[in-house]
Amino acid sequence: MTNFQVYKKILPFSLIAFLIDVLTIIAVVGIAVGGFFIAEAASNQGLIGLAVGLVIGLIVSILVKMFITNMYKAGMIAMITVGVTEGKLPDNTLHEGRRIVKERFVSIFAFFAVTGAIKGVFRQLGRMINRLGTAVGGDVGNSVTSIIDSFIQVLISYLCDCCLGWVFYRKDKNTASAACEGAAIFFKHGKTLLRNMGRIFGMGLLSFLVIGGALTGAGFGICHLFPDAFSTLAKEIAEAGQRGDIEIAEIFTNQQFLMFIASFIVAIFLWNIIHGLFIKPFVQTGVIRNFMQSGMKDIPTEAEMVEIEKKSSKFANLRRRTN
């Protein structure tokens, strides 16, 4: 199967996850706006109510991601893994993905539990790369380090997905052991895998400019339908600054600027969801294919794992969990 053929078969996961995320966003915005109007009516402290409502909404969002969205993500990665390793997928990938998730729920839950440790391994690699920026020195060096670190964080996200795919593939191994093998594959084949990473950042930038720009424009237009709300919010911010004797920048007290800021923030949030659900899976398919092919041809040996332990204390700690 080609990458696009696999991508088309896994789209049902993206559609359902998109629906869940949209409903979650509506809930977060609804709770935040509700908090604003309730507090405004009760004590003329709408800004505080907005902040409290936003915090509650974000907590709800995190819980949904932990217990629902991640399971659909795991099912999608399971199907990508099957597609790129076996060259075929069932007609109903959604049903098969759910079956695998239920069948291997403990392994998947264990994987998400050790994800922090896996990220630690890759971050250790990132700190080595960041020395390039530090070596430059000064503000330029800090900027280089910051840019490199941003790229590393995106790369880590994809590598964790690859490790989860490897956990699905290595059914005979426990989760931590398979995750260690997955991390070792990157250390062994890093140069080969990094050659394919250009598409990650290229497609990410393109989708941000096109989708993010369109969403910002649409959001700005929608904000103009509620001028009173932004006028009240601008007034609340100005009054809060006066009470605290704090100089508030005009962009936070100007109605038009607030509309743009609000639309831009929501646009980034929505772009992140749309990119993650509809653009990233296509890129993921290619990345996971390259990762799996490298691993299947050359599964890390015990001796090689020991060598990597010497180079990465995080990797050594993760391996201890397999004992």
Q: Tell me, what DSSP letter sits at residue 44?
A: S
Does residue 152 register a pLDDT over 90? Answer: no
Between CA 6 and CA 121 the distance in angstroms is 29
Residue 54 CB coordination number (10 Å): 17
Average model confidence (pLDDT) across the chain: 81
pLDDT at 143: 59
Residue 177 CB coordination number (10 Å): 18
pLDDT at 80: 95
Q: Which of 115, 193, 200 is closest to 154 using CA atoms?
A: 200
pLDDT higher at 209 or 319: 209
Does residue 142 register a pLDDT over 60? Answer: no
Confidence label for 169 from pLDDT (cuts 50, 70 and 90): very high
Instruction: Average the pLDDT over 264-270 and give the result.
Output: 88
Between CA 173 and CA 222 the distance in angstroms is 52
Per-residue pLDDT reduced to its tens digit, 119-137:
777 766 555 555 545 554 5
The percent of residues above 90 in pLDDT, for the chain, comes to: 14
Residue 137 CB coordination number (10 Å): 10
Q: Tell me, what DSSP letter sits at residue 321?
A: T
Is residue 253 helix, strand or coil?
Answer: coil
Between CA 222 and CA 234 the distance in angstroms is 17
Does residue 52 register a pLDDT over 90? Answer: no
Residue 312 CB coordination number (10 Å): 20
Alpha carbon 36 to its chain's center: 29
Q: Which of 287, 274, 12 is closest to 157 using CA atoms?
A: 287
pLDDT at 131: 54
In degrees rounded to 5, what are phi and psi of residue 285? -60, -45
pLDDT at 130: 52
pLDDT at 5: 94
The percent of residues above 70 in pLDDT, for the chain, comes to: 86
Does residue 49 register a pLDDT over 60? Answer: yes
Joined tokens for residue 186: 């990157």
pLDDT at 300: 85
pLDDT at 147: 63
pLDDT higher at 38 or 7: 7
Per-residue pLDDT reduced to its tens digit, 24-42:
888 888 888 888 888 877 7
pLDDT at 128: 52
22 to each of 51, 69, 159, 234, 280, how far by Cα in Å?
21, 12, 26, 27, 17
Q: Supply the range of the domain harboring residue 105.
A: 3-320
pLDDT at 134: 52
pLDDT at 237: 77
Does residue 53 register a pLDDT over 90? Answer: no
Residue 76 one-letter amino acid = M
Residues with Cβ within 8 Å of 247's Cβ and at least 6 positions away in sequence, in order, are 241
pLDDT at 224: 83
Per-residue pLDDT reduced to its tens digit, 196-252:
667 777 888 888 899 999 999 998 898 888 888 778 777 777 777 767 667 777 667
pLDDT at 78: 92
Instruction: Tell me which long-range contacts 96-105 makes (C-beta under 8 A, separation of at least 24).
Output: 97/13, 97/72, 100/75, 100/168, 101/71, 101/74, 101/75, 104/168
Between CA 66 and CA 74 the distance in angstroms is 12
Per-residue pLDDT reduced to its tens digit, 67-110:
788 888 889 999 999 999 999 999 899 999 989 888 888 777 77
Total number of domains constituting the chain: 1
Between CA 197 and CA 116 the distance in angstroms is 22
Q: Which of 162, 12, 159 is closest to 85 using CA atoms?
A: 162
Instruction: Tell the residue number behind the tokens 């600027």, with chain if given.
Output: 257
pLDDT at 145: 57
Between CA 121 and CA 165 the distance in angstroms is 17
Does residue 19 register a pLDDT over 60? Answer: yes
pLDDT at 129: 52
Give yes or no for a contact between 215 and 271, defined as CB atoms under 8 angstroms apart.
Answer: yes
In degrees rounded to 5, what are phi and psi of residue 312? -135, 110
Burial class (CB within 10 angstroms; exposed 0-12, middle 13-18, buried 19+) of 84: buried
Predicted TM-score (pTM) of the model is 0.73
